[in-house]
Homo-oligomer: A and B are copies of this chain.
């Protein structure tokens, strides 16, 4: 299946449509059904002790699942998350970005399902794992 939006197209889309959070995230790499992106960790993402907060990791998983879907179907601002299950497994390393590797496991007409692994940059032990379902609006809405 052909990639419809590459890393540059996804980053541009994020800045246009989600100005409020576009500074937090950056897409590194897009492959078929896969993207790698990062949370540019800043003070607002931290909990006492200097580790990235749960909601910031959720936000990273959520945007990664959204963008890997768009990478394959093109810009549909109206796709919405319907479900997320997330496991927090290790404390993130403080002072580094978080890296998300998202894999599209299913791309149906109405639903996509994505698996996301989150790592502290430079570590190979996952800090979190999430799976997300997105509802894709009918084609005419796109």
The residues of A with any CB-CB pair to B shorter than 8 Å are 17-18, 20, 44, 46-48, 53-56, 58-59, 62, 77, 80-90, 105-106, 110-111, 113, 115, 126, 129, 131, 133, 135
Contacts and interface: CB of A to CB of B under 8 A. Distances in A.
Contacts of A84: 54, 58, 84-86
A83 B133 contact: yes
A83 B83 contact: yes
A87 B53 CA distance: 20
A135 B111 contact: yes
Q: How many copies does the complex hold?
A: 4
A110 B85 CA distance: 20
Instruction: Tell me whether chain A's interface is mostly helix, strand or loop, or mixed.
Output: strand
B85 A83 contact: yes
B126 A82 contact: no
A118 to B, nearest CB: 11
A85 B87 CA distance: 9
Given A18-B47, A105-B129, A88 B83 contact: yes
Contact of A82 (B20, B56, B59, B88): B88
19 contacts: A18-B48, A20-B47, A54-B59, A55-B56, A55-B58, A80-B88, A81-B88, A82-B133, A83-B83, A83-B133, A84-B85, A85-B86, A87-B113, A89-B106, A89-B113, A105-B129, A115-B129, A131-B131, A133-B133
